[in-house]
Amino acid sequence: MKYVNRIREYFNRSDKPVFSIHELRVLGIPYSYAKMLLSLMVRRGEIVRVRKGWYTFHRDPVVFIFTLPPTTAYYGLGFAAYLHGAWSQVPNPEILTYVAPRKIRVGVHSFLGVNIIVRRISRRLFNDYMLYRYENWLLPVSTPEKTLLDIIYYNYPFQDEIVDDLINKISILKIRNLLKELPYPKRIKEKISKMLK
């Protein structure tokens, strides 16, 4: 029971959205006992398993991104457009990361009844995200300019509903600089340039 209290004390904090089974070693809990203890806490409903080896006390699907190494992923596409106020629809969270498939499987991950979509992005195109205040956390979210570029690049299915409102929120100068900096295919650069005229 003393270990359960330690886990609560160290990991049930607003500044600690998720924790890994390996972090329990710091508390002096042997790995095999930690697995059993976390399994018991999940069955009791005290914590939730986010994905293999990762757990949380918080009942919010957006904490999923904190299971990835810092500065390797951001929320993008429709979810970013929604956070920026360019889309009224509340879409499934979509994470763009360059560590897939080494650190996480690409595709749909179900967590707390929400489908979280993980997509791979080239490290060369991984750029221009911001930290967005969401409750007690700072979520990495693509800027409005990068959101527009990614929506066109990934041929996002709802782009017709999003693009016009997103163009009203972007800096034309900034998006032109991003088009020069980032190695997007020529067809994407041409399509974006036509939209901005």
60-100 tens-digit pLDDT: 999 999 999 989 999 999 999 999 999 998 899 999 999 98
Spans of all domains in the chain: 2-59, 65-195
- Comparing 10 with 94, the larger pLDDT belongs to 94
**Distance separating alpha carbons of residues 67 and 18, to the nearest angstrom:** 7
CATH topology of domain 65-195: Beta Polymerase; domain 2 (3.30.460)
Q: What is the pLDDT confidence band of residue 1, given thresholds at 50, 70 and 90?
A: low
State the pLDDT at residue 101. 84
User: What are 83's two structure tokens?
Assistant: 């956070």
Counting beta carbons within 10 angstroms of the beta carbon of residue 119, is it exposed (0 to 12), middle (13 to 18) or buried (19 or more)?
Answer: middle
Q: Mean of the per-residue pLDDT values for the chain?
A: 91
Q: What is the pLDDT confidence band of residue 57, given thresholds at 50, 70 and 90?
A: very high
Q: Does the predicted model carry a pTM greater than 0.95?
A: no
Sequence-ordered alpha helix ranges (H) in the chain:
2-11, 31-44, 77-83, 144-153, 159-167, 172-181, 186-195
Domain 2-59 is found in CATH 1.10.3470: no
**Distance separating alpha carbons of residues 172 and 193, to the nearest angstrom:** 10
